[in-house]
Structure 1
Amino acid sequence: MSRIALVISDVDGTLVTKDKRLTEAAQKAVARLRGAGIGFTVTSSRPPVGMRMLVDPLDLDLPMGPFNGSSIVDPQFVVLEQHRIPAHAAATALKVLADFSVDAWLFTTDHWFVRKLDGAYVAHEQSTIQSDPTAIEDFAPYLDQACKIVGASDDADLLERCEQAVQQALGHEALAVRSQSYYLDITPPGQDKGSFVRAMARRLGITTDAIATIGDMQNDLAMFKTSGLPIAMGNATADVQRQARHVSTSNEDEGFAAAVDFILKQQAAS
């Protein structure tokens, strides 16, 4: 195995606990990586604003990958790369979500639009990303600005069926994958957490084999397939765990810190 030069972590379900806390153990784990000369950054389905609360506690100094890695921002949130969903694909995705009666949100670089402020998981997302949405009746004026569209539902089985229908309707025009059991993310084509891994390898002048990734959901599989050392959380579903080289404990049991310790142990043995 190549020596690890960079660790890229998912955020929700991985780096933070179920109630979105960044634990002291997680912060100390990132410090241990730096002490070993290993870089650290994050990629997430969150918009850029939803990553702000991580920068200072983790002393992040490398580019980050919001919107499932389809955008890249620096620690001051200057946009380094940005991709958008084609307008016709955004319209198609919204129609399928409506056909399944799934609440839809639309994110631009700086705004979060919803149709209902009391819709499914809106309050939950407000707490998570520490930002408020804007309620609008019609998404049409923003279709050409969409960085991410989200379908939110408390019916996990329905959302899984909706995911398949959106994927079939979009083909290669956009990506559709669940970031949580209750969130279906539609993001720009050809851009995902795997492309973020490759972009970071280019920026740092390293190979993707020298990158370890930590995650828990289907949207993390793209970076698992691209990186040299993929690690799944203990709370990940069985299909995600099967794609990993190592399985840590859950995010409720300091699984991120345990994953970092595994990386450092592997490094010491190599």
Structure 2
Amino acid sequence: MSGEATALADIELVISDVDGTLVRDDKSLSPKTIEAVKRLGAAGIGFTLISARPPSGLGGHIADLGLATPVGAFNGATVFEPDGTIVEAHHLGQETARGVASCFDGLDLPYWIFADGRWMTRTRAMPHVEQEIVAARQEPVVAEDLTPWLGRADKLQAVCDDPARLAEAERAVKARFSASATIAKSQTYYLDVTAPKTDKGHGVTELAKAFGIPLAAVAVAGDMPNDLSMFRVAGLAVAMGQAPDEVKAEADHVTTSNEADGLAAFIEALLAAKDERSRTG
């Protein structure tokens, strides 16, 4: 939140994270969430998405929800229209990308590169590839040498199920590249490295401008540390029930988990507050 939390009835725009927030663990949208988003629109309240995913991983949800306004990808480094038109895109500098890749290699930590609308990996035989195919809605390009894409990378993403090793990588990358990259965990097993000064706080700011709505009237919902930057700029921050304590600690409101339709529950509370105000004046 930025300063004192905005009252539910004063919210004019809701911006939601995707994985762990909008969708269930199997990456599907629940009918209850779809209906809640449609009710927001009917009430004249804006709704859009911001995600660590590439644009390819958001098109299906954009269609399912009937969105017609800009959406944020790569943790806010890319903003694009539902038809795929890029509004703005920020890439990692080549030297930074090379340095981060070298750091991951030095820690023997596998990583992916997202560039040119594609997803590159050295092997498919590693954790989370199959679920990323579902999330990104594309097959990976397998290449032993990933250096050709380091000069135009949208995101480098370390992949590791060992929290201690991922935390070590986060410390190492932040120590060297905090001035030239945005570094945050988007899942307990993903460490994202994107362009500098283009975190979700930046993305939410740009999306609010596109809607013509002040940040004080924006509610954001998320579940991971990469969502904290948008918590800090929005009028109201909502954490999902399964979010780690460090995320809940910076939220104004904690809803139920993504498996229990937590986003829909928050939207229903918002709409109820709007209805109550309209009745009582």
TM-score (norm 2): 0.93
Secondary structure of 2:258 counterpart? coil
Secondary structure of 1:138 counterpart? coil
Please tell me whether residue 161 in structure 1 is matched to residue 175 in structure 2: no
For structure 1, list consecutive stretches of 5 or more residues without a partner in the other structure. none
Deviations 1:234-270 (A, max 9, x none): 0100110010100000011111101111222333455
- Deviation of the 1:225 alpha carbon: 0.4
| Pairs within 5 Å for 1:41-52 | 41-52=48-59
Aligned 8 A contact 1:103 1:120 in 2: no
Q: 1:262 to 1:164 in 2, by over 3 A?
A: farther
Which structure has more relative contact order (CA 8 Å, sep 6+)? It is 2
| Pairs within 5 Å for 1:50-129 | 50-129=57-136
Two-structure CA RMSD over aligned residues (Å): 1.2
| Pairing partner for 1:9 from 1, 16, 29 | 16
Secondary structure of 1:177 counterpart? strand
Q: What corresponds to 1:184 in structure 2?
A: 191
Q: What corresponds to 2:3 in structure 1?
A: none
CA distance in 2, matches of 1:101, 1:262: 46
Q: 1:242 to 1:269 in 2, by over 3 A?
A: farther
- Deviation of the 1:141 alpha carbon: 1.5
Identity %: 39
CA distance in 2, matches of 1:70, 1:109: 14
CA distance in 1, matches of 2:106, 2:21: 32
Q: What corresponds to 1:195 in structure 2?
A: 202
Q: What corresponds to 1:205 in structure 2?
A: 212
CA distance in 2, matches of 1:146, 1:267: 43
Secondary structure of 2:259 counterpart? coil
- Deviation of the 1:13 alpha carbon: 0.3
TM-score (norm 1): 0.97
Deviations 1:10-29 (A, max 9, x none): 00000000111100000001
Secondary structure of 2:232 counterpart? helix
CA distance in 2, matches of 1:60, 1:129: 18
For structure 2, list consecutive stretches of 5 or more residues without a partner in the other structure. 1-5
- Deviation of the 1:41 alpha carbon: 0.5
Q: 1:167 to 1:269 in 2, by over 3 A?
A: farther
